[in-house]
Structures are given as structure tokens and as C-alpha cells.
């Protein structure tokens, strides 16, 4: 299956170097009497030159290469499965050393190379239509585990291609793991030694947790924020997104306004269209009222059915009518195409499927 002989994979208890910040890595080098500029050299090799093992870092002295190889691994996960869709979307199911499984996706869209990353193993939010949260949350991912997903997907690109966008829309609720998500995204945006992705091209998607949105605003977060709204009123939202019960749409709207006031980052609302649940003309009209006066973009996404769940995608007539009402209401709306339809590309789907059908083998073997 997966060939990882050249990769520095953590089979032993060695820590991953991805857990280090530039600062803590410099300290590690200085403590061992290596020059501190070596830290940046190593980080550039991993994040920019896509080197997979310390022993291949031939621009470093041999004793340092050996020392690094004895002390750290780079990757901690095993690629349990990889799927490729006809439209170029690729999805990885990664297995963590403790057995937890997470998903991440690479999308090719014109010149864009976007990755969708997970922030937790499972999810505690309990959105009724989503596969990720069906068994609750196991744990937060570390900064290194979040970065490792981006690096594994980056290594699937052609040498001349670069990652251009990150969306935190995989498994988990990023604002419930804010510290590690922000630490990982700092490396993603760093152009000196990191991935060099502009923060305008990095989106944090959330179910809408006002205290964490305020923390992001206080930290002058440079990232785009997407709120998974999915309903125009509290009664319906609480049915679809149960954590809404103790939050409420009004509190979320107020928090997003505070975020916008501080960061001037355009807000996006996500709305997954579910047949006969939130796809009526009345819902569209209520949405118009809710969003009309806001500097926001509405992303309408047709539901990607999850095997075993009773939810369905609306017909194209219903989707068109929904769209007409929003556009006539003056809403800045985008109807997103589903990508990766022929693979299990929606949040948590692949992991769920594999837990139910563990006998299925991997589709490709070159990752
Ligand atoms: N917890 C965060 C991020 C992860 S989910 C959040 O709620 O935003 C990313 C987005 O995918 C959310 O908008 C979520 O509601 C949506 N989603 C989950 N399952 C889906 C499915 N089967 N089809 C379409 N969208 C789905």
C-alpha cells in the first residue's frame, strides 16, 4: 500500500518537528551548539522544498542530519487511504499514532490549489446532517497534526504547483481548538520559512461560537471567517445545528459584526441546502431579511448525502427558485458547485464509511 520508507515517519516515540515554532527550534539548535540559522534552513526544507527526511537535507552538515533524525520525525500519520475524483479533487484518510482518523482534501480549481483541513478527531457540535460529529469528538489536533495534513497534500502537487488556499472545513470545530489552529495557520502564512499562503486566502469555518469569534477579533486575526448558518431562524437552526440552542443567531450576528469592525475581513455565511428542511421560498425570504444590510457573502451549498442519514439534496428547480429569491433580494450569493462528488468528499464521510466497511482497500497507492 503506502510507501513511506523515505519519509521520516514517527513509528517510535520521536516527537514531530512540526510541533516546533521557529523560535523553539532555534532554541533547540542553540542548546546543542549548532548555529541558529540552521533552524530556518530545516523549516524551509520541510515547508517549501518538500523534503521528506532529514537525511535528504544535504545542505546540512552530516552530524546535524543524523542528530535531527535521531531526535525527530517529520510525519506522524499513515495514509490509510487516498481517493481521487474525476474533477481532480483528492482526499486522504490519515491515521494518527493513537489510532484516530482524520480527513483532508486537495481541490484543483483553475489556478487554485486549495486544501481543506481537519481541526479535531470527530466533532462535538452535533450538526444532524454531518458525518463528522456522529460519534462526538475524541480530541483536538495538535499544531503539527494540522500542518501535516497540508504538507501531505502539498506533496501530491506537481513541483511547479503551489498551495494557494486553506479552508478549515474538514472534521471538527476550529474555534473549539483555537490555539492550535492559529499556531498552525501562522506557519501556513509565513513566507520566510512556511507555506507563504496569504491570510486572505485562509478561511476559518465555524458553527459560530461568539466568545471565540471575539478572541479572534481581539487578536486582530487576518483570516477570513465563514459562519455555518444553515437556517434563517433559531427554531430551524437549533434543529439542524443543536449547539445553536444556547447561542442563537442574534448573538452570532453581533459577534461577526464585531469581528468585521476590527478586521475588515469580509464575512461569509455557509448554507447547506437540505431538501424539505431549509430550502423553502419562506426560508429564502427570511435569509434576505437577515443578511440584507450586512457586508457578507452567502455561500449556498447543495447537501452531499451521507449514507445512513435521512437528508437529501433538493431538486435543481427548488435550488433555482431559492437562488432567484436571494438574488432579487440583493444578497451577495454564490451557489457552490459540489466538488469530489464521486468520492466521499464531505466532512467526515470517508472516515465514517471506512468505520462501517473496514474491508475496503485503498484506491491509489502512490502517496
Ligand atoms: N465545524 C466547522 C467546520 C467544519 S464543517 C463548521 O461548522 O463550519 C465545514 C462545512 O461543511 C460546514 O458548513 C458544514 O455544515 C458543512 N457540511 C458538513 N457536512 C456536509 C454535507 N454532508 N454536505 C454539505 N456540507 C456539509
C-beta 212 within 6 A of ligand 1: no
**Would strands 78-84 and 120-122 be described as parallel, antiparallel, or unpaired?**
unpaired
At 343 the pLDDT is 61
- How confident is residue 354, by pLDDT bands cut at 50, 70 and 90? low
Closest by CA position to 81, among listed 349, 306, 303, 305: 349
- How confident is residue 230, by pLDDT bands cut at 50, 70 and 90? very high
More reliable by pLDDT, 266 or 44: 44
At 355 the pLDDT is 59
- How confident is residue 356, by pLDDT bands cut at 50, 70 and 90? very low
Q: Does 128 score more than 80 pLDDT?
A: yes
Contact predicate 132/122, CB 8 Å: yes
C-beta 313 within 6 A of ligand 1: no
Å from CA of 223 to ligand 1 middle: 18
Closest by CA position to 110, among listed 191, 164, 48, 168: 164
Contact predicate 319/279, CB 8 Å: yes
C-beta 121 within 6 A of ligand 1: no
Q: Which of 347, 351, 352, 353 to mutate to test the pocket of ligand 1 (most atoms within 8 A of CB)?
A: 347
Nearest-angstrom CA–CA distance, 279 and 301: 11
- Of 19, 103, 145, 270, which is the active-site residue? 103
At 357 the pLDDT is 40
At 62 the pLDDT is 96
Å from CA of 183 to ligand 1 middle: 22
Q: What dihedral angle (degrees, nearest 10) is formed by the CA atoms of 331, 328, 276, 355?
A: -40
Q: What is the pLDDT of residues 155-194, one digit of tens each?
A: 999 999 999 999 999 999 999 999 999 999 999 999 999 9
C-beta 347 within 6 A of ligand 1: yes
- How confident is residue 8, by pLDDT bands cut at 50, 70 and 90? low
Nearest-angstrom CA–CA distance, 105 and 168: 11
- Of 104, 123, 130, 347, which is the active-site residue? 347
Q: Kindly report the pTM of this predicted structure.
A: 0.92
User: What is the length of the chain?
Assistant: 367
Q: Does 347 score more than 70 pLDDT?
A: no
**Would strands 120-122 and 202-206 be described as parallel, antiparallel, or unpaired?**
unpaired
HSE value, Cβ hemisphere, 13 Å, CA-based, for 327:
9
- How confident is residue 265, by pLDDT bands cut at 50, 70 and 90? confident
Q: Average pLDDT, stretch 28-43?
A: 96
C-beta 204 within 6 A of ligand 1: no
Q: Does 360 score more than 70 pLDDT?
A: no
Q: Of 95-104, 229-238, 276-285, 349-358, give the lowest mean pLDDT range.
A: 349-358
At 66 the pLDDT is 97
Q: What is the pLDDT of residues 73-93, one digit of tens each?
A: 999 999 999 999 988 899 999
Q: Does 358 score more than 50 pLDDT?
A: no
Contact predicate 276/313, CB 8 Å: no
At 11 the pLDDT is 54
At 13 the pLDDT is 83
Å from CA of 347 to ligand 1 middle: 6
Residue 283 annotated to the active site:
no
Q: What is the pLDDT of residues 210-224, one digit of tens each?
A: 999 999 999 999 999
Q: First CA to last CA across the chain, in angstroms? A: 9
Give me the percent of the chain exceeding a pLDDT of 70.
89
Cell numbers of 330, please? 440583493
Q: Does 100 score more than 90 pLDDT?
A: yes
At 133 the pLDDT is 86
Chain-wide mean pLDDT for the chain?
90
C-beta 169 within 6 A of ligand 1: yes
Q: Whose CA is nearest to atom 8 of ligand 1?
A: 206
C-beta 19 within 6 A of ligand 1: no
At 1 the pLDDT is 37
Residue 257 annotated to the active site:
no
Å from CA of 137 to ligand 1 middle: 15
At 166 the pLDDT is 98
Give me the percent of the chain exceeding a pLDDT of 90.
83
For 173-238, the DSSP string reads: -GGGGHHHHHHHHHHHH-SSSS----GGGEEEEES--HHHHHHHHHTT--SEEEEE---SSHHHHH
At 364 the pLDDT is 28
At 55 the pLDDT is 95
Q: What is the pLDDT of residues 305-344, one digit of tens each?
A: 999 999 999 999 999 999 999 999 999 999 876 666 666 6
Cell numbers of 259, please? 469581528
Residue 273, beta-bridge partner list: 302
Q: Which of 103, 107, 205, 350 to mutate to test the pocket of ligand 1 (most atoms within 8 A of CB)?
A: 205
Closest by CA position to 180, among listed 152, 204, 151, 153: 204
Nearest-angstrom CA–CA distance, 224 and 270: 13
Amino acid at each position: 500500500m503506502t510507501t513511506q520508507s523515505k519519509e521520516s515517519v514517527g513509528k517510535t516515540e520521536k516527537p514531530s518537528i512540526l510541533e516546533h515554532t521557529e523560535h523553539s527550534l532555534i532554541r533547540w539548535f542553540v542548546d546543542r551548539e549548532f548555529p541558529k540559522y540552521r533552524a530556518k534552513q530545516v523549516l524551509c526544507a520541510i515547508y517549501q522544498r518538500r523534503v521528506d527526511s532529514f537525511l535528504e537535507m544535504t545542505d546540512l552538515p552530516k552530524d546535524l542530519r543524523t542528530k535531527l533524525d535521531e531526535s525527530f520525525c517529520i510525519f506522524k500519520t499513515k495514509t490509510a487511504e487516498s481517493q481521487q475524483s474525476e474533477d481532480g479533487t483528492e482526499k486522504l484518510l490519515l491515521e494518527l499514532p493513537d489510532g484516530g482518523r482524520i480527513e483532508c482534501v486537495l481541490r484543483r480549481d483553475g489556478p487554485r490549489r486549495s486544501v481543506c483541513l481537519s481541526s479535531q478527531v470527530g466533532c462535538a457540535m452535533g450538526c444532524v446532517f454531518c458525518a463528522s460529529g456522529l460519534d462526538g469528538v475524541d480530541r483536538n489536533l495538535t499544531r503539527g497534526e494540522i500542518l501535516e495534513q497540508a504538507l501531505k497534500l502539498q506533496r501530491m502537487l506537481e513541483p511547479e504547483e503551489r498551495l494557494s488556499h486553506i479552508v478549515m472545513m474538514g472534521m471538527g470545530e476550529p474555534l473549539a481548538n483555537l490555539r492550535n489552529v492559529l499556531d498552525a495557520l501562522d506557519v501556513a502564512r509565513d513566507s520566510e520559512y512556511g507555506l507563504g499562503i496569504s491570510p486572505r486566502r485562509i478561511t476559518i469555518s465555524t458553527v459560530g461560537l461568539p466568545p471565540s469569534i471575539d478572541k479572534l477579533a481581539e487578536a486582530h486575526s487576518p483570516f477570513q471567517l465563514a459562519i455555518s448558518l444553515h437556517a434563517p431562524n433559531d427554531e430551524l437552526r437549533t434543529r439542524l445545528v443543536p449547539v445553536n440552542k444556547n447561542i442563537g443567531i442574534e448573538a452570532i450576528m453581533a459577534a461577526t459584526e464585531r469581528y468585521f469592525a476590527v478586521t475588515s475581513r469580509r464575512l461569509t455565511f455557509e448554507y447547506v441546502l437540505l431538501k424539505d428542511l431549509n430550502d423553502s421560498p419562506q426560508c429564502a425570504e427570511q435569509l434576505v431579511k437577515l443578511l440584507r444590510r450586512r457586508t457578507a457573502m452567502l455561500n449556498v451549498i447543495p447537501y452531499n448525502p451521507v449514507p445512513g442519514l435521512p437528508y437529501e439534496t433538493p431538486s435543481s428547480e427548488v435550488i433555482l427558485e431559492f437562488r432567484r429569491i436571494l438574488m432579487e433580494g440583493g444578497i451577495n450569493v454564490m451557489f457552490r458547485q459540489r466538488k469530489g462528488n464521486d468520492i466521499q468528499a464531505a466532512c467526515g464521510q470517508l472516515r465514517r464509511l471506512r468505520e462501517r466497511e473496514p474491508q475496503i482497500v485503498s484506491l491509489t497507492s502512490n502517496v
